[in-house]
Amino acid sequence: GAGVSQSPSNKVTEKGKDVELRCDPISGHTALYWYRQSLGQGLEFLIYFQGNSAPDKSGLPSDRFSAERTGGSVSTLTIQRTQQEDSAVYLCASSYGTGGNYEQYFGPGTRLTVT
Amino acid sequence: LAKTTQPISMDSYEGQEVNITCSHNNIATNDYITWYQQFPSQGPRFIIQGYKTKVTNEVASLFIPADRKSSTLSLPRVSLSDTAVYYCLVGATGRRALTFGSGTRLQVQP
Mean pLDDT of A90-112: 88
Q: Residue A43's pLDDT is what?
A: 86
| Residue A8 maps to a domain | no
Give the burial string for A22-40 (b: 16+ CB within 10 Å, else e).
ebbbbeebbbbbbbbbeee
d(CA A84, CA B7): 30
Partners of B31 on chain A (C-beta within 8 Å) are: 100
| Residue A41 maps to a domain | yes
Q: Residue A68's pLDDT is what?
A: 95
Average per-residue pLDDT for chain B: 90
| CATH homologous superfamily for the domain B9-94+102-109 | Immunoglobulins (2.60.40.10)
Other Cβ atoms within 10 Å of B50 Cβ, number? 20
d(CA B37, CA B60): 11
Is the pLDDT at B97 greater than 70? The verdict is: no
Partners of A50 on chain B (C-beta within 8 Å) are: 96
| Residue A115 maps to a domain | no
Determine the distance in angstroms separating the CA of B14 from the nearest CA of chain A, rounded to an integer.
24
Whether A32 has its CB under 8 Å from any CB of chain B: the answer is no
Is the pLDDT at B81 greater than 90? The verdict is: yes
Number of domains in chain A: 1
pLDDT band at A87 (very low <50, low <70, confident <90, very high): very high
Q: Mean pLDDT lowest for which of A38-47, A86-95, B16-25, B89-98?
A: B89-98
Q: Do A48 and A29 form a contact (C-beta atoms < 8 A)?
A: no
Per residue in B26-79, pLDDT (tens digit) is: 888 888 899 999 998 899 999 999 999 999 999 999 999 999 999 999 999 999
pLDDT band at B94 (very low <50, low <70, confident <90, very high): low
| Residue A113 maps to a domain | no
d(CA A55, CA A62): 16
- CB nearest A42 (choices: B33, B42, B100): B100
- CB nearest A56 (choices: B32, B33, B96): B96
Mean pLDDT of A88-108: 87
Determine the distance in angstroms separating the CA of A106 from the nearest CA of chain B, rounded to an integer.
5
| Residue A66 maps to a domain | yes
Q: Do A68 and A23 form a contact (C-beta atoms < 8 A)?
A: no
| Residue A107 maps to a domain | no
Partners of A42 on chain B (C-beta within 8 Å) are: 87, 100-103
Sequence spans of domains, chain B = 9-94+102-109
pLDDT band at A12 (very low <50, low <70, confident <90, very high): very high
Mutate to test the interface with A, among B4, B27, B98, B104 (most CBs of A within 10 A): B98
Closest CA to A83 of A64, A70, A97, A108: A64
Which CATH number characterizes residue A87's domain? 2.60.40.10
| Residue A69 maps to a domain | yes
Cα–Cα–Cα angle for B24, B72, B22, rounded to 5 degrees: 30
Whether B45 has its CB under 8 Å from any CB of chain A: the answer is yes
